[in-house]
Structure 1
Amino acid sequence: MNRQADRPVTKKLGRFAIVGLLNTLIDLATFSALVALSFPALVANFLGWGVAVIFSFAVNSRWTFERGERFNLHKAFAKFAVSGSIISLGSSSLAVYFLPPLTGLFAAKLVGIIVGAILNFFAARWSIENRII
């Protein structure tokens, strides 16, 4: 039996949060560097998300969630990236587009990341473990 299968959801949530913090730093660092290089905010947001999602999948699929016997790396990554693009890229892009007049660009990016992270736990669990709850 897989040792990870015995890990409670609360432990998975804690690990997901740790990965999420690192993921956020990667996303923000990439976003900030690209904005400083005069990339448009939405392009920088997309590229920062892309770098972060690859890191997130690599770590979450090995450390946070358990892989089933029928785990298919390519299929799981496709589900992870598609659900992530709808949730985290969608929420951060909407925030970066609409919120800067109210909050400033970087605060808007953080709002989008936080909303996306909450929803992304369930999407990651679905894409890697093939279940939500």
Structure 2
Amino acid sequence: MTEEGNRGLSTKLSRFAIVGILNTVIDFATFSALVALSFPALVANFLGWAVAVIFSFAVNSRWTFERGERFSLHRAFAKFAVSGSIISLGSSTLAVYLLPPLTGLFAAKLIGILIGAILNFFAARWSIENRVI
């Protein structure tokens, strides 16, 4: 087994990107549907993120990253959700709050999702594999 485990870094990055695309669709679709139902943008942003983070953890913890021998599902999800809330929820909330006058609401949401996705790869490795880099 390599230092990276059975799956190399390029495989993990590719899988993380695929999950990220699906996660983005889920987040954005949930957000859009809730905005169309007249939910406030920040509430819709939080609920879209919550649905997407559950999907993302379920798939990334089984398919993208390799679980350690002492993997604790509850502890890993807590680390994943906390880091995700700081990174992805934080970036998308800031974007939805600050950028709409410049970009429009939906473009702002996408910008926040993209920034969060880049940072979340490292957060996911930390929470699921207990690796920093």
**Shared fold by TM > 0.5?**
yes
Paired with 1:132 and 1:18, the residues of 2 have a C-alpha distance of 21
Letter in 2 for 1:30: T
Deviations for 1:38-87, whole angstroms, at most 9, x for unmatched residues? 00000000000000000000000000000010000000000000000000
Q: Report the counterpart of residue 98 of structure 1 in structure 2.
A: 98
Deviation at 1:20, TM superposition (A): 0.2
The equivalences for 1:1-133 within 5 A come to 5-133=5-133
How far did 1:5 drift?
2.3
Structure 1: distance between partners of 2:54 and 2:114: 18
Cα distance in 2 between the residues matched to 1:18 and 1:132: 21
Cα offset for 1:6? 1.6
Gaps of 5+ in 2: none
TM-score under structure 2 normalisation?
A: 0.96
CA–CA distance in structure 2, aligned partners of residues 5 and 26 of structure 1: 29
CA distance in structure 1 between the aligned counterparts of 2:104 and 2:124, rounded to whole angstroms: 29
- Tell me the amino acid that sits aligned with residue 86 of structure 1: I
Q: What is the rounded CA distance, in whole Å, between the counterparts of 1:18 and 1:88 in structure 2?
A: 17
Unaligned runs of 5+ in 1: none
Provide the alpha-carbon RMSD of the alignment.
Answer: 1.0
**Partner SS for 1:5:** coil
Number of residues of Structure 1 aligned to a counterpart in Structure 2: 131
> Which of structure 1's runs of 4+ aligned residues deviate more than 4 A?
none
Q: Within 2, Cα distance between the matches of 1:13 and 1:123?
A: 13
Percent identity over paired residues: 85
Whichever residue aligns with residue 44 of structure 1, its letter is: A
CA distance in 2, matches of 1:7, 1:57: 18
| Secondary structure in structure 1 of the residue aligned to 2:131 | coil
